[in-house]
Amino acid sequence: QVTLRESGPALVKPTQTLTLTCTFSGFSLSASGMCVSWIRQPPGKALEWLARIDWDDDKLYSTSLRTRLTISKDTSKNQVVLTMTNMGPVDAAKYYCARILKNDSGSYIFDYWGQGTLVTVSS
Amino acid sequence: SYDLTQPPSVSVSPGQTASITCSGDKLGDKYACWYQQKSGQSPVLLIYQDTKRPSGIPERFSGSNSGNTATLTISGTQAMDEADYYCQAWDSRSAFFGGGTKLTVL
């Protein structure tokens, strides 16, 4: 059974760095074709993809947020960490992590999602 | 950036067929996925690789993708299908989501 759980601060101050952890079970991020991604969703708004890390440590970032994001993995702990620098009010959102499976057709699929963690940005 | 455009809202009567479109430049050349998000819940994968349903997803959900438009079709819509629906595709090593469509079952 695949599960993912996001953790991190519920409140950050403007200009601070946000660090979120995705702890997962039911799969190994060292297995070929496995990836983990972060996605966020401001209240009442659409999903926005942030970053992806692959089994071979390839890392992809949203073009618009690339300079502020860092994604990393600890395979032994089954964790993926996302940091986002210089947080501002527009970054307030629910942050989700999701497993991505690369299938035999080369399609990358968000097949399991965590429950998300709500982050507020305020002084 | 790659824009995926969805209608903000679609209404359907119970038992009828609902169609939700997703438009993007040459979207038919990419794989489209669809996600359902009910109020207060996380997104759930409905359709992947344009037409495929994960196990556990009812047969009334189907997808197609050609030209510039991907379509999610819900046949025999039920009240429980009321939710937000998002399309998604990959372009140039980035994932993009549509703006979402709120499906109302009247």
Task: Give the C-alpha distances (Å, rounded to integers) separating B87 from A29, B37, B43.
Answer: 25, 11, 11
Give the model's pLDDT for residue A10.
97
β-pairing verdict for B33-37 and B44-47: antiparallel
Residue A103: band (very low, low, confident or very high) from pLDDT cuts 50, 70, 90:
confident
User: What is d(CA A79, CA B105) in angstroms, rounded to the nearest whole number?
Assistant: 39
Query: Which residue, B59, B64, B38, is CA-closest to B49?
Result: B64
Contact B42 A110 (CB under 8 A): no
Give the model's pLDDT for residue A105.
87
Does residue B93 belong to the interface with chain A, where contact is any CB pair within 8 Å? yes
pLDDT for A49-75, tens place per residue?
Answer: 999 999 999 999 999 999 999 999 999
Residue range B1-21: mean pLDDT, rounded = 97
Give the model's pLDDT for residue A58.
96
Ranges of beta strands (E only) in chain A are 3-7, 11-12, 18-25, 34-41, 48-54, 59-61, 69-74, 79-84, 93-102, 108-113, 117-121
Interface mutation target, options A4, A5, A35, A47, chain B, most CBs of B under 10 Å: A47
Does residue B49 belong to the interface with chain A, where contact is any CB pair within 8 Å? yes
Residue of A nearest to B54 (CA): A111
How many contacts (CB atoms, under 8 Å) link A and B?
Answer: 57
Give the rounded distance of the alpha carbon of A72 from its chain centre. Answer: 10
Residue range A2-31: mean pLDDT, rounded = 97
- pLDDT of B27 above 90: yes
DSSP B29: G
- pLDDT of A106 above 90: no
Secondary structure class of B48 (helix, strand, coil): strand
Contact A60 B42 (CB under 8 A): no
- pLDDT of A104 above 90: no
Residue range B12-37: mean pLDDT, rounded = 97
Give the model's pLDDT for residue A86.
98
Contact B35 A60 (CB under 8 A): no
CB B104 within 8 A of CB B78: no
